[in-house]
């Protein structure tokens, strides 16, 4: 009992110190908020990774060689090194994320998440057909992407990066998107082509 | 039956019950409430934690995809929970992401931050609880949820608990009250009844009542039974006591009556004893009076007989023929014997009556020996006996000086009597530790052993056949009693043919300085008494002269160097000088002539004391008196007195008043005074004496105590109180046996006390000389 006195006293001090730390924390974060906003692609790179956390891939999806989780960028890469740094060391579906930059749609079959650059707008149909039912989550920021059969499309609402989901496309590829993801989406298309 | 007292034990029991059960219930309720409150708090925290988890997991996507609106939607679901005050969601970097408040605009306390590594913390503060929980998604901290909840539910829970506890407590206490009333009947009631009985017993002293027995056989029953048994015993004891007391009272009454009877008898007896005592005292007083009268009445005529017969032998009034001389001497001797006998008888009866009072003091043995030997020597010399004495100078005894000397004189007188001529009597003393042994040893015929045991009996006379030895037969009896009164024992050692030794032992005393004997050329003292210079080169002769003169009251200076005698005399201017003729180296005749031719000494009377019988030569050379050795004390003193008288001074002579009722004694004293050159006057009773002194104050008064009309005591007192006669010298001369008090009185108020029981004439003359050195009658 005696020996307990001093630890008790310290326990009482810790919350106080925590309180002070919290005030300091909020003050500094408030200041940090005035810092230049992260650039658009930095946010998009983070989202790209986060999408992977709310999606369930079908078990039959052929596993690419190695035990990695391939995230691919098809076409001209708008992220640059930001995407590399964002994904570096991350895991998805218990596998280390591997970033690949590809140029041929044939290569996309081995990807789990495929960001299609707007440079590929012209051959989008060809790409999407090739990927049909191959269990690849397609993401792009080209306008009308979901309308044309893409799964997730980045949209900008003012400064804010948001996204639209074409749930029918995802379901046809046997991907299960978490309701949490759907909840925060700017819009969700339930039937293919019906949105148009 | 005092209800309050009666209820005290049952009330105590009830209180005890209530207190015990109340305390137990209170403790139990407090424990339950504490436990429930803690448990409730824990469940509250658990609930909050669950809610925070739900909110957190429902807000993960909103956080990840920066959709605060979605998060707020999630939070708004908390509206259903009334206890939630507010909730907030923070992004992983700590920014406020979404918030909810039940009471918009209400107080929003600071939310504690999560310590690193902690998933969730909570804190009770200000009547609310705050819980902060980290939102983790996919193993990564994604944000933080905080929820505040009020404690109203806890409070209302607590209130409910307290209410329930109160109800339980009241119900329990009522139940306890009921149960205790049952106990009271079982326990308190018998005790109360027991107490009532005990009170009744102590109040009414009624030991016959008994406490009612309670049912069962527990300790209470044992107690009541023991109490009842005790009461029974007390009852028995009390009864026995009462009986004993009654008996005792009876006996006390009996004894009291007996005692009263005895008292009466004792009173009567003591009354008779008192009467007998009175009679005895009266008889004793008569006896004393008789003795006193006897001593006075017998001695007075004897004094006359002896005094006048002595005067006759001195042939001052005509010569006596040889036959007359012999007859007068017989009268004198017979008188002396009679006086001795009377003194002895009176002494003995006084001793036997226990009326002899001794005054103990430290007495120097050698001084007493000297005095006794001086007195007894003439007797011994008559039988040519040697009277020797030896005593260490510093030896003293505790004794009455007079009686001590009387003892010695009696023994010596006895020895002289029984020792044949030319015998030797030796008086000696030696120390025996703290005591002193005194002996009188003679060379007499000794005492046969068969007579030794009778010798101390009164009127027993040794050797009845030897008729020539005179005596009263009382001497040894008195001596023995006197020694016994001194705490000693008179003993005798004797064998026929080898003398006798009487001895006794007295307690020793601190040494008393023996009377100072002035040696030649000794210091010259300022002395009011007549001083005599004794010029004598023979030491023994000088001492004899000295003792004779000293005993008569003279101040003696010895001179054993005739060569210095003239100078000493010139210096000392003595009243008289005694001078030997046969001295070396100076011839006495020459010394005498130089005395008479030296103007400094020519006026000093000279008494020649010598072996040479040539009075005419002495007279021709100017000697005033001439005495042929051996020296007779009386002759010496008379001669010296005549010398003194020659040195008379001129003045109006005043008489010496002799107050004496007995005519012969009066005449004898007058004659004695005239003989020694004094002018006598007489008074036959007290009144006459008073008148005489009132008319003219005499030089001195010689006063008898027993006088007709006015007693000597009264005269003494009167004269002492008058200033005119305050300094008048008074000599008391009496044959009355005086008590110590009377003696003290006389010694303080009179100049001298003489008692006729003993030879007094010489002392009277000597004291007169001392008191009146310059008073002389015209005719001498």
Domain shared by B593 and B479, yes or no = no
Domain shared by A77 and A142, yes or no = yes
DSSP B21-82: HHHHHHHHHHHHHHHHHHHHHHHHHHHHHHHHHHHHHHHHHHHHTT-HHHHHHHHHGGGG-T
Q: Specify if B521 maps to a domain.
A: no
How far apart CA B81 and CA B153 sit, in angstroms, is 12
Domain shared by B362 and B420, yes or no = yes
Query: Which residue is closest to A93 within chain B, CA to CA?
Result: B138
Mean pLDDT value across chain B: 82
Q: Specify if B288 maps to a domain.
A: no
Q: Specify if B518 maps to a domain.
A: no
Give the one of A14, A22, A184 whose C-beta lies nearest to B65's C-beta. Answer: A184
Domain C-terminal end among B507, B542, B572: B507
Do B702 and B731 contact (CB within 8 A), yes or no? yes
Q: Specify if A194 maps to a domain.
A: no
Distance from first CA to last CA of chain B, Å, rounded?
Answer: 126
Check whether A7 has a pLDDT greater than 50: no
pLDDT recorded at residue B266: 92
Domain shared by B123 and B163, yes or no = yes
Q: Which of the four pLDDT bands, split at 50, 70 and 90, describes residue A63?
A: low
What is the torsional sign of CA B764, B767, B772, B777? positive
pLDDT digits over B360-397, tens only?
888 888 888 988 888 888 888 888 888 888 888 888 89
- A5 touches B: beta carbon within 8 Å: no
What domain range is B410 assigned to? Answer: 357-507
How far apart CA A86 and CA B689 sit, in angstroms, is 174
Nearest to A71 by CA among A125, A118, A107, A123: A107
Quote the pTM value.
0.40
Q: Specify if A140 maps to a domain.
A: yes
Nearest to B429 by CA among B443, B415, B440: B440
Mean pLDDT value across chain A: 78
Q: Specify if B493 maps to a domain.
A: yes
Domain shared by B682 and B558, yes or no = no
Element (DSSP H or E) covering residue B559: strand B555-559
Give the one of B70, B93, B115 whose C-beta lies nearest to A184's C-beta. Answer: B70
Give the one of A32, A33, A50 whose C-beta lies nearest to B64's C-beta. Answer: A50
Q: Specify if A143 maps to a domain.
A: yes
How many domains does chain A fold into? 2
The residue whose two tokens read 């009467």 is B275
| Å between A94 CA and nearest CA of chain B | 10
Nearest to B429 by CA among B399, B470, B460: B399
> CA B114: distance to chain centroid?
105
Domain shared by B29 and B63, yes or no = yes
Domain shared by B362 and B467, yes or no = yes
Domain containing residue B11: CATH number: 3.30.450.20
- A20 touches B: beta carbon within 8 Å: no
Q: Specify if A104 maps to a domain.
A: yes
Domain shared by A99 and A138, yes or no = yes
Query: To probe the interface with A, which of B65, B76, B143 has the most A CB atoms within 10 Å?
Result: B65
Domain shared by B672 and B590, yes or no = no
Q: What is the mean pLDDT of residues B41-69?
A: 91
- A25 touches B: beta carbon within 8 Å: yes
Q: Which of the four pLDDT bands, split at 50, 70 and 90, describes residue A10?
A: very low
Do B381 and B370 contact (CB within 8 A), yes or no? no
Domain containing residue A95: CATH number: 3.40.50.2300
Domain shared by A28 and A117, yes or no = no
Q: Specify if B281 maps to a domain.
A: no
Chain B residues in contact with A181 (beta carbon < 8 A): 61, 65
Chain B residues in contact with A26 (beta carbon < 8 A): 94, 96
Domain shared by A21 and A47, yes or no = no
Check whether B56 has a pLDDT greater than 50: yes
pLDDT digits over B542-553, tens only?
888 888 888 777
Residue B473: partners with Cβ closer than 8 Å, 6 or more residues away? B458, B459, B460, B461
Q: Specify if B570 maps to a domain.
A: yes
Domain containing residue B748: CATH number: 3.40.50.2300
Do B552 and B765 contact (CB within 8 A), yes or no? yes
What domain range is A81 assigned to? Answer: 40-189
| Å between B99 CA and nearest CA of chain A | 15
How many domains does chain B fold into? 4
Domain shared by A149 and A179, yes or no = yes
Specify burial of residue B393 (Cβ count, 10 A radius: 0-12, 13-18, 19+).
exposed
Domain shared by B726 and B749, yes or no = yes
Which residues between 49 and 68 in chain A have a beta carbon less than 8 angstroms from any beta carbon of chain B? 50, 53-54
Q: Specify if A102 maps to a domain.
A: yes
pLDDT recorded at residue B412: 92
In Å, the largest CA–CA distance within chain B is 198
Domain shared by A84 and A165, yes or no = yes
Chain A residues in contact with B93 (beta carbon < 8 A): 29, 32
Chain A residues in contact with B137 (beta carbon < 8 A): 53
CB contact under 8 A, B93 and A32: yes
Q: Specify if A86 maps to a domain.
A: yes
Domain shared by B110 and B167, yes or no = yes
Q: Which two tokens stand for residue B104?
A: 């918009």
How far apart CA B547 and CA B366 sit, in angstroms, is 14
Do B385 and B405 contact (CB within 8 A), yes or no? no
pLDDT recorded at residue B439: 92
Domain shared by B364 and B484, yes or no = yes
Q: Specify if A196 maps to a domain.
A: no
Chain A residues in contact with B138 (beta carbon < 8 A): 53
Q: What is the mean pLDDT of residues B67-86?
A: 88
Query: To probe the interface with B, which of A14, A45, A50 has the most B CB atoms within 10 Å?
Result: A50
Element (DSSP H or E) covering residue B390: strand B386-390
Domain shared by A45 and A114, yes or no = yes
Nearest to B615 by CA among B626, B606, B607: B626
How far apart CA B346 and CA B648 sit, in angstroms, is 43
Ramachandran area for residue B602 (φ above 0: left; ψ -120 to 50: alpha; else beta): alpha
Domain shared by B702 and B766, yes or no = yes
Number of residues written out for chain B: 780
Do B532 and B647 contact (CB within 8 A), yes or no? no
ipTM of the complex: 0.75
Domain shared by B144 and B87, yes or no = yes
Nearest to A90 by CA among A111, A68, A73, A108: A68
Q: Which of the four pLDDT bands, split at 50, 70 and 90, describes residue B604?
A: confident
In Å, the largest CA–CA distance within chain A is 79
Q: Which of the four pLDDT bands, split at 50, 70 and 90, describes residue A9?
A: very low
- B67 touches A: beta carbon within 8 Å: yes
Domain shared by A6 and A88, yes or no = no
Domain containing residue B412: CATH number: 3.30.565.10
Q: Which two tokens stand for residue B484?
A: 């016994």
Domain shared by A25 and A63, yes or no = no
Query: Which residue is closest to B96 within chain A, CA to CA?
Result: A26
Check whether A163 has a pLDDT greater than 90: yes
In chain B, % of residues over pLDDT 70: 91
The residue whose two tokens read 């039912």 is A133
Q: Give helix B633-646 / helix B539-551 axis angle, nearest 10°.
A: 70
Domain shared by A98 and A141, yes or no = yes
pLDDT recorded at residue A137: 92
Q: Specify if B266 maps to a domain.
A: no
Domain shared by A8 and A59, yes or no = no
Q: Specify if B546 maps to a domain.
A: yes
CB contact under 8 A, A180 and B111: no
Q: Is B584 helix (H, G, I), strand (E, B) or coil?
A: coil
How far apart CA B312 and CA B326 sit, in angstroms, is 11
Check whether B401 has a pLDDT greater than 80: yes
Q: Which of the four pLDDT bands, split at 50, 70 and 90, describes residue B106?
A: low
Domain C-terminal end among B646, B671, B686: B646
Do B494 and B414 contact (CB within 8 A), yes or no? no
Q: Which residue has the higher pLDDT, A171 or B635?
A: A171
Chain B residues in contact with A160 (beta carbon < 8 A): 66
Domain shared by A25 and A71, yes or no = no
Alpha carbon of A65 to those of A112, B221, B536: distances in Å?
Answer: 12, 102, 183
- A16 touches B: beta carbon within 8 Å: no
């Amino acid at each position: 009992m005696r020996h307990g006195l001093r630890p008790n006293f310290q326990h009482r001090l810790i919350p106080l110190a925590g309180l002070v730390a919290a005030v300091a924390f909020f003050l500094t974060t408030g200041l940090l908020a005035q810092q230049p906003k992260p650039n658009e692609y930095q946010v998009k790179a983070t989202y790209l990774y986060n999408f992977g956390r709310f999606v369930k891939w079908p078990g039959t999806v052929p596993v690419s060689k190695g035990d990695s989780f391939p995230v691919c960028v098809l076409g001209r890469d708008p992220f640059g090194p930001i995407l590399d740094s964002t994904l570096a060391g991350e895991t998805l579906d218990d596998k280390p994320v591997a970033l690949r930059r590809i140029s041929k749609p044939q290569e996309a079959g081995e990807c789990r998440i495929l960001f299609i650059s707007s440079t590929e707008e012209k051959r989008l149909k060809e790409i999407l057909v090739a990927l049909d039912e191959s269990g690849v989550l397609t993401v792009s920021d080209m306008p009308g992407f979901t309308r044309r059969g893409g799964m997730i499309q980045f949209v900008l609402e003012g400064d804010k990066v948001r996204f639209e989901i074409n749930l029918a496309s995802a379901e046809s590829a046997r991907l299960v998107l978490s309701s949490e993801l759907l909840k925060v989406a700017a819009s969700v298309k339930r039937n293919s082509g019906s949105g148009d | 039956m005092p209800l309050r007292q009666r209820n005290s034990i049952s009330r105590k029991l009830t209180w005890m019950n209530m207190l015990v059960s109340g305390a137990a219930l209170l403790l139990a309720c407090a424990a339950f409430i504490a436990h429930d409150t803690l448990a409730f708090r824990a469940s509250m925290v658990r609930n909050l934690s669950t809610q925070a988890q739900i909110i957190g997991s429902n807000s993960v996507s909103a956080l990840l995809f920066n959709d605060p609106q979605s998060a707020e939607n999630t939070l708004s679901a908390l509206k259903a929970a009334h206890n939630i005050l507010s909730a907030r969601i923070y992004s992983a970097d700590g920014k406020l992401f979404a918030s909810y408040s039940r009471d918009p605009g209400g107080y929003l306390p600071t939310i504690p931050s999560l310590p690193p590594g902690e998933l969730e913390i909570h804190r009770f503060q200000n009547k609310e609880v705050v819980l902060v929980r980290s939102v983790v998604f996919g193993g990564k901290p994604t944000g933080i949820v905080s929820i505040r909840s009020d404690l109203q539910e806890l409070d209302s829970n607590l209130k409910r608990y307290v209410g329930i506890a109160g109800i339980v407590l009241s119900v329990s206490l009522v139940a306890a009250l009921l149960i205790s009333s049952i106990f009271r009947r079982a326990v308190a009631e018998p005790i109360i009844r027991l107490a009532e009985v005990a009170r009744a017993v102590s109040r009414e002293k009624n030991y016959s009542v008994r406490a009612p027995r309670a049912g069962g056989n527990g300790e209470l029953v044992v107690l009541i039974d023991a109490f009842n048994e005790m009461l029974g015993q007390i009852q028995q004891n009390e009864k026995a006591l009462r009986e004993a007391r009654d008996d005792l009272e009876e006996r006390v009454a009996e004894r009291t009556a007996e005692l009263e009877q005895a008292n009466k008898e004792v009173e009567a007896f003591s009354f008779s004893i008192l009467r007998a005592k009175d009679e005895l005292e009266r008889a004793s007083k008569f006896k004393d009076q008789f003795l006193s009268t006897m001593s006075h009445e017998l001695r007075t005529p004897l004094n006359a007989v002896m005094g006048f017969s002595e005067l006759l032998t001195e042939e001052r009034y005509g010569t006596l023929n040889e036959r007359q001389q012999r007859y007068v001497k017989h009268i004198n001797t017979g008188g002396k014997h009679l006086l001795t006998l009377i003194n002895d008888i009176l002494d003995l009866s006084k001793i036997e009556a226990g009326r002899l009072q001794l005054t103990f003091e430290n007495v120097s043995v050698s001084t007493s020996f000297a005095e006794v030997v001086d007195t007894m020597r003439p007797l011994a010399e008559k039988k040519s006996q040697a009277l020797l004495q030896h005593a260490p100078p510093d030896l003293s005894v505790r004794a009455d000086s007079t009686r001590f000397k009387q003892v010695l004189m009696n023994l010596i007188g006895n020895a002289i009597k029984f020792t044949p001529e030319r015998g030797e009597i030796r008086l000696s003393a030696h120390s025996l530790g703290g005591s002193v042994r005194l002996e009188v040893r003679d060379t007499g015929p000794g005492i046969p052993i068969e007579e030794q045991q009778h010798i101390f009996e009164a009127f027993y006379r040794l050797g009845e056949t030897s008729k020539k030895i005179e005596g009263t037969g009382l001497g040894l009896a008195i001596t023995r009693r006197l020694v016994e009164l001194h705490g000693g024992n008179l003993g005798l050692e004797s064998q026929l043919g080898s003398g006798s030794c009487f001895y006794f032992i007295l307690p020793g005393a601190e040494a008393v300085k023996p009377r100072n004997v002035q040696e030649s050329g000794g210091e010259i003292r300022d002395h009011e008494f007549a001083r005599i210079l004794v010029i004598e080169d023979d030491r023994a002769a000088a001492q004899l002269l000295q003792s004779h003169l000293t005993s008569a009251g003279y101040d003696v200076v010895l001179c054993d160097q005739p060569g210095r005698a003239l100078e000493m005399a010139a210096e000392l201017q003595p009243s008289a000088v005694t001078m030997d003729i046969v001295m070396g180296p100076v011839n006495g005749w020459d010394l005498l002539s130089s005395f008479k031719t030296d103007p400094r000494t020519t006026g000093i009377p000279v008494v020649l004391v010598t072996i040479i019988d040539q009075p005419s030569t002495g007279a021709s050379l100017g000697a005033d008196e001439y005495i042929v050795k051996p020296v007779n004390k009386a002759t010496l003193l008379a001669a010296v007195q005549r010398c003194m008288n020659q040195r008379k001074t001129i003045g109006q002579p005043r008489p010496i008043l002799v107050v004496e009722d007995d005519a012969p004694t009066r005449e004898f004293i007058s004659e004695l005074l005239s003989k020694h050159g004094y002018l006598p006057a007489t008074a036959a009773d007290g009144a006459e004496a008073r008148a005489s002194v009132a008319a003219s104050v005499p030089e001195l008064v010689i006063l008898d105590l027993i006088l007709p009309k006015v007693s000597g005591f009264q005269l003494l007192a009167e004269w002492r109180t008058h200033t005119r006669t305050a300094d008048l010298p008074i000599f008391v001369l009496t044959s009355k046996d005086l008590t110590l008090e009377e003696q003290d009185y006389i010694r303080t108020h009179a100049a001298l006390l003489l008692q006729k029981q003993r030879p007094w004439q010489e002392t009277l003359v000597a004291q007169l000389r001392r008191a009146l050195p310059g008073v002389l009658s015209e005719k001498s």
